[in-house]
Amino acid sequence: MMEIPSLLLADGGGAEAELLAVGCFQGAAPELEALPEQVRRAALGIAARPGWKGREEQVGQADAGAPGQVVALYGLGAAAELSFAKLARWLGRVAEDARTGGVRRLGVVLPRHAETTGAAAGRICRALALCGYRFERYRSEPDNGRLEAVVLVPPAGAEADYRAALDTAAKVASAVAYARDLANTPGNEATPAWIQERARELTASHGLSLTVLDAAELARRGMGGLLAVGGGSEHPPRMLRLALGDTPGTLAPHGTLGQHRGASGRSPRPAVALVGKGVTFDSGGISIKPAADMEQMKFDKSGACAVLGAMRAAADLELDLGLRAYLPLAENMLSGGAYRPGDIVRCYNGKTVEITNTDAEGRMILADALAWAVEEGSDALVELSTLTGACVVALGHQAAGLFTPDDGLAAELDAAAADSGERLWRLPLLPEFLDDMKSLHADLRNSAGRWGAASTAAAFLSQFVGGLRRWAHLDIAGMAYARSEDGRGTAATGFGVALLADWLRRQAG
C-alpha cells in the first residue's frame, strides 16, 4: 500500500519544514503571526513585490532565512469564493510543487476562514494527509521522491480544533489511500479472487470476520444476478461479507444483526449494512462498450473498494456498532458463457429480471447483495456504486447522486457529506421510474433506456430492499475517479470512504 505522509502540527511555526507554503487571499496581507521572524520577513517581501495580488494560481518564492528553507506565497483568490474543493486543489498543487522540488517535509500555513476553522479542521487534515498520494506500484522508476511529512500551521485560534481532529483524520486518510490502491489496481491483477485476498488480509489485521460465497454457494442460494454477470469470465464471481464483531465463518440468523448491543452491553447500537459494487472490469458484456476510455472500467469496483476502506476506518476508529459489508464481485466479460440480452434471471429474493442490456450489470450483482443484507437484518443500509453514466450527465464530476425514500437518512448523509467535503446531491425516486422498469415477461427489466436512467436504476434497486425504508443508494460514477492534472490518465479518488466514516461515527454516537 502507498504510504501517505505523516501529518504533524507545527512546533515552532513550521521551522522544521523545507518548504513553507503560505495561503494568502486576494487583497489581504498574509497571516504570518505564528511564523519565525525571518520567515515573516521573507513572506512580507514577496507580498510587497510589484504585481503581487494574491490571485488564484499566483505564487512567489524566497529564501526563508534558514539554510535550504524556502517560503512560498500562494494566492487563493477572493476569500468570499473559497470552497473546500478549491482549497483541496491548492493543497494538491502545493504537494506537487514540493515533490518536483525534492522536498521531504512540507509546511502549510492556512489563513483563517470558515473553510479552515471549526468543523473544517477534520477534512483539511485529511486532505493534507492525502496530498502526497501517488499510485506508483507499477512504475520501475517513480517520477519524484516521496513526500514524507506535512507540517501544518493552523489558522490563529484554531489550534485546538486541529489537535482534536488530527488522529481521526489520519486514520480516515489511511483508509482512503487503501481504497485508492485497490481501485487503481488493474483488472489483470485485481480479479474477484484478488479482492477476496485483500479482504482476508484486512480482516486478519483489523479484527473483522469474513464470509465468502463462491460460485457453487451462489448457485445453491439462488443468487442469479451475480452469477449471470460473472458467467462470461474465467475468473468466477463471489460474494464477500465482512463484519465487526462476528465469529469468523459463521452466518447470523435472520434479524439478529438488528439486536446488536454495544461493547458495554447497556444500550442497543444501530445495525448498519454497507453494500459496494465490485465489478473488477466491465467490458459491457455482449452489449459491449465503445473502445474509447474502456481502460477506465477497472474503476467499476470503486464502490466495493470504498466500502472496504470504510470498514478499515471503522475498525481503526473502534466504532461501537453492528456493522456488516456486502461485496458482490464479478468481471463482466464476453464468452460462450456470458449472459445475453433477452435472458431472464432470477435473483436472490425471487424476483425475475429480463436482461435488456448486459452493460446494466451493476444493478444485477447489487440485487443479490442488497437482498442478502436486508434478510440478515439492518436498521440502515447504504450502498455505493459506479452505477450509471446518466448520473455523470446530471451532476458532472462535482457530486455523487443520493437516492433514498427516507428524509431522515438523507439529512444524515447530507450532514456527513458537508463535514467530510464529499458532496452529495439528492435525486428523485418517483413511482413512475419503477413503472419504467417493469417487464412484459418478467418482474423487472434491467434497463429502460436513456431517459432518467440514474433514477430508473435506483428504482430497480428499491425492489431488493424489502420493507426497509432507511436505505440509500449513492451513485458515485462521476466521483470515483478523476483525470490527472498532467493529463496522462485517470486515477481513483477513494470517494465515499470519508463520507461513510463520518456517517458511521454519527451512528455510533
Indicate the length of the chain as a whole number.
509
Q: Quick check: is 183 in a domain?
A: no
- Distances in Å between the Cα of 63 and the Cα atoms of 48, 101, 154, 361 are 15, 14, 22, 56
Per residue in 8-62, pLDDT (tens digit) is 998 766 667 899 999 999 999 999 998 889 999 999 999 999 999 999 989 999 9
Helix (H, G, I), strand (E, B) or coil at 283: coil
Judgement on whether residues 302 and 331 belong to the same structural domain of the protein: yes
253 in the same domain as 165: no
94: left (phi over 0), alpha (psi -120 to 50) or beta: alpha
Provide the CATH number for the domain around residue 34.
3.40.220.10
pLDDT > 70: what percent of the chain? 93
For range 334-360, the mean pLDDT: 98
Asked if 318 and 433 count as a contact pair (C-beta separation under 8 A), the reply is no
Q: Residue 79 — φ and ψ, nearest 5°?
A: -60, -35
Q: Are residues 208 and 104 in the same domain?
A: no
Q: At which of 146, 178, 210 does a domain end?
A: 178
pLDDT tens digits for range 291-304: 999 999 999 999 99
Residue 338 lies in a domain: yes
Q: Which of 152, 178, 204 is the last residue in one of the domains?
A: 178
Residue 365 covered by a domain: yes
At 201, list the grid cell. 488480509
**How many CA atoms, within 13 angstroms, populate the side-chain half-sphere of residue 157?**
8
Q: Are residues 250 and 103 in the same domain?
A: no
Q: Residues 160, 196: one domain?
A: no
Tell me which of 121, 149, 178 is where a domain ends.
Answer: 178
What pLDDT is recorded for position 145?
A: 67
Domain membership of residue 411 (yes or no) is: yes
Counting residues of the chain whose pLDDT is more than 90, the rounded percentage is 82
Active site positions, annotated? 289, 363
Residues 31 and 133 occupy one common structural domain: yes
Going by C-alpha positions, the residue among 93, 85, 180, 194 that lies closest to residue 137 is 180
Q: Are 487 and 467 in contact (CB under 8 A)?
A: no
Cβ–Cβ under 8 Å, residues 402 and 410: yes
**Which of 262 and 236 is assigned the larger pLDDT?**
236
Question: What is the span of the domain harbouring residue 289?
Answer: 191-508
Strand pairing class (19-24; 344-346):
unpaired
Domain total in the chain: 2
pLDDT digits (tens, 9 = 90+) for 446-480: 999 899 999 999 999 999 999 999 999 999 999 99
Whichever domain contains 314, its CATH number is 3.40.630.10
Q: What 3-state class would DSSP assign to 30?
A: coil
In a domain, 101, yes or no: yes
The CA distance from 216 to 308, in Å, is: 24
* Three-state DSSP class for residue 114: coil
The stretch 286-292 carries a mean pLDDT of 96
Q: Name the β-bridge partners of 402.
A: 426, 474
For residue 245, pLDDT beyond 80: no
Give the burial string for 85-119 (b: 16+ CB within 10 Å, else e): eebbebbbbbbbbbbeeebebbbbbbbebebbbee
Q: Do 209 and 146 share a structural domain?
A: no
Say yes or no to pLDDT of 247 above 60: no
Task: Indicate if 174 and 207 belong to the same structural domain.
Answer: no
Q: Are residues 172 and 251 in the same domain?
A: no
Q: Which has the minimum average pLDDT: 12-16, 67-71, 498-502?
A: 12-16
pLDDT band for 142, please (50, 70, 90 cuts): low
Q: How confident is the model over 248-265, as pLDDT tens digits? A: 333 443 333 444 444 444
Between the ranges 146-155, 249-258, 354-363, where is the mean pLDDT highest? 354-363
Tell me: do 196 and 168 sit in the same domain.
no
Q: For the segment 388-403, what is each residue's pLDDT rounded down to a tens digit?
A: 999 999 999 999 999 9
